[in-house]
Amino acid sequence: MEDRFEMRCDDIYFPFDVRLSGLDSHAEWLQKEVKAIQRQFASQHQISSSIDNKAPASTDKHLVASIDTTSTPDAEQLIQNKMESMHEELNELSAYACDKIGWHQFSIENTQ
């Protein structure tokens, strides 16, 4: 009887453990993704600042930029959007895991 009960518990909790390790892996992947975006923006900023430093002073100060900078998100905005997306996804995964825990607890109570 005890062996049967142990096997039943393993069947119930093992999928939950796999799901949690999947959540950890996904969170790590998202953190790496954010770091990659931060590095990309840092390198772009370094390139543009180094170009600006070497350029001679222009006498045409009245020229308007040809790119609409208000329509392009800056690095901080992109990082903020990615973080919000990560937060929403982790909340969804957490809710899923909590639902599974409740179902498994209910299943254990039924076996007793």
Neighbours of 8 (CB within 10 A): 13
Instruction: Please give the pLDDT value at position 52.
Output: 54
Q: Cα separation of 72 and 44, whole Å? A: 14
Q: What is the mean pLDDT of residues 81-104?
A: 82
Asked whether the predicted pLDDT for residue 51 surpasses 60, the reply is no
The 3-state DSSP class for residue 101 equals helix
Q: Which two tokens stand for residue 19?
A: 């799901």
Instruction: Please give the pLDDT value at position 29.
Output: 87
pLDDT tens readout for residues 8-48: 666 565 666 667 777 788 888 888 888 888 888 877 766 65
Whether the pTM exceeds 0.95: the reply is no
The 3-state DSSP class for residue 67 equals coil
Q: Cα separation of 98 and 107, whole Å? A: 14
Q: Which two tokens stand for residue 31?
A: 């953190």
**Domain parsing of the chain, residue ranges:** 1-28+75-112
